[in-house]
Chain A
Amino acid sequence: MNSDIWVGFKHLNDLGISPDQLGDYDVLCLPENIEKEGESEKLFEAEETVHLYKILKSRGIKAYCLHDFGCEVPIYERRGETIYFGVLVIQYIVYPIVAGIIANWITEKLYHKNVRVVLHIIKNDKEEHIDYDGDGETLLKLLESLKEKRNAGNEQDN
């Protein structure tokens, strides 16, 4: 396997989930420790990852989690001030929708001071990786700047 490949995809492969099986997904909602663990017994999903997965599917986005590939992982329910979205692999085309949903969530859930999320954004052959652990307000700005960057890129392409 290519050594440049993102560790999350390597671990998915270790779990028996090949790129072919992933198919033409829009978003993969993955366990928050997928970059560290490649064994299903050690993986866990944040509660918000499951919620996000369900919301994305309801909006017509092709979202998948490990459960869809027959791999069962427990849900980790926390009650602290940090909201964990887990690891999200996002196709560039649906990025604005995903960013919008996350932004709404952060704005609504005021009691969550900190946000932890890994965004792995895929555009054709390029991959952008953001490991965020910080306050909600800064994340909102980051999501917005990525959206602007995307729009500027689209204009250039046109």
Chain B
Amino acid sequence: MLEMNKIIKLYNKGIKNWTKKISKQRYQEAKLVAANKVKVCRKIILFDLEVDENFKNISLIYGIFFRGLEDLTDLSEIVAKYEWYKDNESVEKAWLLLQNCKERFESSSKIVMVPSEIKETIDSFLDTIEKDFLALFGPGLYVSPEILIKKSICSICKTDYRTCPHLPNHLYNGKICRIEPTEIGPGNCVVILPRPKDPRCRLWPWHQEKEGDGLKIHNIPLIISFKIDDFLD
């Protein structure tokens, strides 16, 4: 039977190992370290019948953190390239990865004990990238759908979301409780706004085209189905 302390030591060793690889710009090796730890977390959450709920919840949080490290590795690789910001595809990808990292690290930071020097390096790197985006592309505009959910179930027990006992965003046996729409109603709309709930749906200059007095917008993602725990899908 797995022991929680031993597993946490293994996870922490993985964080240090990842740091060594990334500091030498060995992106593929760094990604492999993070991906392997994500696999361990996934296996514990989904298939280990002997561990308790707390163990699974801890593994979920570490899994989210290691997925963040995978994203951070990809982001580091993109921005290490010369004039990456001149390539639209790289910009869009880097933006998504930046948001993923922020969300994943924010969700896991209270539980995952990252050595302070590593944490500071990661925070400072993400902060620099964010400032670069602001300097290069401004604060931006975002598209966002508003959805009317007629029927919904809970992601944990699959019963009616309103009446089940599970609380939104709480952890249950290594899984996050959220609303799962099963029937969407009519009257939905899309809004363009400066401060969205999800900054991934960003409207880039190359998505816009002048048409007469108006603006034609094309090729923009309306919904990006991002989940911090996507490794469980």
Contacts and interface: CB of A to CB of B under 8 A. Distances in A.
A136 to B, nearest CB: 13
Interface stretch (B49-57, B86-94, B142-150): B142-150
Interface residues of B, number: 25
Interface string A32-57: 00000000000010010011011100
Interface residues of A, number: 20
A97 B36 CA distance: 44
A111 B199 CA distance: 10
A58 interface: yes
A97 B168 CA distance: 18
A79 B162 contact: no
A79 B146 contact: yes
Given A80-B193, A80-B196, A58 B167 contact: yes
B144 A79 contact: yes
Given A51-B168, A54-B168, A58-B167, A74 B196 contact: no
B197 A75 contact: no
B165 interface: yes
Contact of B179 (A47, A55, A79, A81): A47
B158 interface: no
B148 A74 contact: yes
A117 to B, nearest CB: 17
A110 to B, nearest CB: 10
Given A54-B168, A55-B167, A78-B146, A67 B162 contact: yes
Contacts of B195: 80-81, 111, 113
Contact of B148 (A44, A58, A65, A81): A44
A75 B181 CA distance: 10
A25 interface: no
Given A67-B163, A81-B195, A74 B150 contact: yes
Contacts of A50: 161-162, 179
Contacts of A81: 193-197
Residue of B144, B165, B168 with most partner-chain A CB within 10 A: B168
Contact of B149 (A53, A55, A77, A113): A77
A76 interface: yes
Residue of B144, B146, B150, B162 with most partner-chain A CB within 10 A: B162
Residue of B145, B146, B196, B197 with most partner-chain A CB within 10 A: B197
Contacts of B147: 76-77
A48 to B, nearest CB: 9
Contact of A80 (B165, B185, B197): B197
A58 B166 CA distance: 9
Contacts of A75: 148-149, 152, 179
A81 B162 CA distance: 24
Contacts of B194: 81
Nearest to B152: A75
Nearest to B165: A58
B144 to A, nearest CB: 4
Contacts of A111: 195, 197
A79 B185 contact: no
7 A-B pairs closest in CB distance: A81-B195, A79-B144, A79-B197, A75-B149, A77-B147, A51-B168, A74-B150
Interface of B: 144-150, 152, 161-163, 165-168, 179, 181, 185, 191, 193-198
Interface of A: 44, 47, 50-51, 53-55, 58, 65, 67, 74-81, 111, 113
